[in-house]
Structure 1
Amino acid sequence: MTDLPDGAVLCDDGLVRTVWGAAPGMMRDYYDTEWGLPVSGESAHFERLSLEGFQAGLSWATILRKRPAFREVFHGFDADAVARFTGADVERLLDDARIVRNRAKIEATITNAQATIAMRDEGGLETFLWSFQPEDTPRPSTIADVPTTSPESKALSKALRKKGFRFVGPTTTYALMEALGIVDTHVMASYRRGSSGVWPS
């Protein structure tokens, strides 16, 4: 296949993927088995929101490599446990080279855990995030066609900030929507297009 659009790659296993998920290894595994697929439960959504916040200014590969340690130190992203973290916990995490040692992001994760708990009476974080699902999804032919924000991600960012969340700018919330399958931004030629079951291919 020689006429693939920019950003679509025919891989060594005969499958077409988006360029960032093409190389064998960690990123391909994530692309093939996790990215763009809905998850279930508060902790799973809180984890993805938290890791997207930690990713700001860094590569996703960096976050993915550190994800096992993130899951360990944040107690599986159990909001109740994280919400109880103290200043001593922040200092402990700042000494842990296995994660991203950024004070503002660590403190934001604790704040966001508390905000997540506060949302339970209103249906919870999962329901809240999915309430911003748009009426349609992008259909990018090339990698250049993939948006980085949307009206819905801007609205979600604003709404989360109003609820007390931090590190939830519109680019971060759009990446979160992509990761969860709230939008499908696999390039049209990718074999993963439509894999979420949320949107037709």
Structure 2
Amino acid sequence: MAYLLVCSLFLAVGVFAADPELVSDYAADPTATNASFFTFTAFHGDVTAAPGTFMVRKASLVEFPGLTGLGVSMAQLFFQPSSVNPPHIHPRASELLYVLEGSLAVGLVDTTNKLFVQKLGTGDAFVFPKGLVHFQFNEGQYAAKAISAFGSSNAGTVSIPATIFGSGIDDQVLSKAFKVGIDTIQTLKAAFAVKS
């Protein structure tokens, strides 16, 4: 009996950790909906990122309300040479990255602190499991483009460097955690300070 109770609790937690389940075909009034509700046009045209930078265009719940309750989203990624999508996590979704053009070095760190790194070329794909720290880096001399698909309409992104050094965590806490001087922490914080 206790076993069944524990299993029921785990199932309930799993339900709350996912996108809300739809009770209709889609999250809109069918009488007031047309094909535009299901169409996203913000991926038109190429983006030219500044030298050494990374840029992303998202099609998630915020940008595309038609995704409500569907459990999917995507993003276009643009990498100039020597640019990086810094270590980050998606707390609500796994990510499937597909390289459209160029090459990328990708990596993820699992919960045992094991690093997995792979070099990807045009046409290659790589999966990043939900909640694991991962990154992409264009170590080549040409621009690279990729597309990512997510198993949530709102995957969320937590950038590790920006979160740690740009969130206002006390200098002493970070100094002790990283075993470096407060001057080093302040230098890192200055790099992530929000410019007004």
Give the alignment's TM-score, normalised by structure 2.
0.24
The structure with more radius of gyration: 2
Higher relative helix content: 1
Q: TM-score, normalised by structure 1?
A: 0.24
